[in-house]
Amino acid sequence: MTNSEARNFMSVQFAALSENESFARVVVAAFVSRLDPTMEELNDLKTVVSEAVTNCIIHGYDSDPAGLVSISASIDVETVHLTIEDQGRGIEDLELAQQPLYTSKPELERSGMGFTIMENFMDEFEVTSEPGRGTSISMKKTIVSKKALYN
């Protein structure tokens, strides 16, 4: 493996505050920018980060700012590996939670499409959760360089 193919990685942890959702989007976008993603790819990544971080804050911690949200990301050649997790309440019924339009917080006017959006925007998507211990969302997306599109 040459230096240009070496795995690059980053991790960040922040308070479970809704205003940190935009911070998370910017951090991941900046990290991935060296791959020269298309605007669509970049927007897809920013959207899944928003959905996952919002789920951690609202569902994992019930909007308690004492909670921590963790993001780790790595790049292998053109593939972005992204994990977003909390140590919050966890998900009792993961299969139900992944159904389109299901929300455990209808009073907050949640659409119930977060997991569906993440799954559709990424090449690979997996959720693991344990009640009382938290939830981890792992995703992968291969970035097709804009340079390759024009050659």
Q: What is the pLDDT along the chain (151 residues), one digit of tens a residue?
A: 344 445 899 999 999 999 999 999 999 999 999 999 999 999 999 999 999 999 999 999 998 999 999 999 999 989 999 999 999 999 987 787 777 665 666 566 556 567 888 899 999 999 999 999 999 999 999 998 654 444 4
Sign of CA dihedral 27, 30, 36, 38: positive
Q: What is the DSSP letter of 3?
A: G
What whole-number distance in Å separates Cα of residue 24 and Cα of residue 69? 10
Give backbone dihedrals phi and psi of 56, rounded to 5 degrees, phi first: -60, -45
Residue 3 is among the residues annotated as catalytic for this protein: no
Residue with tokens 């004492």: 66
SS (H, E, C) 14-73: EECCCCHHHHHHHHHHHHHHHHCCCHHHHHHHHHHHHHHHHHHHHHHCCCCCCCEEEEEE
Q: Does the annotation mark 20 as catalytic?
A: no
User: Active-site residue among 51, 85, 107, 130?
Assistant: 51
Stated pTM of the model: 0.85
- Among candidate residues 110, 119, 126, 133, the one labeled active-site is 110
Name the active-site residue from 20, 25, 41, 55. 55
Give catalytic status of residue 51 as yes or no.
yes
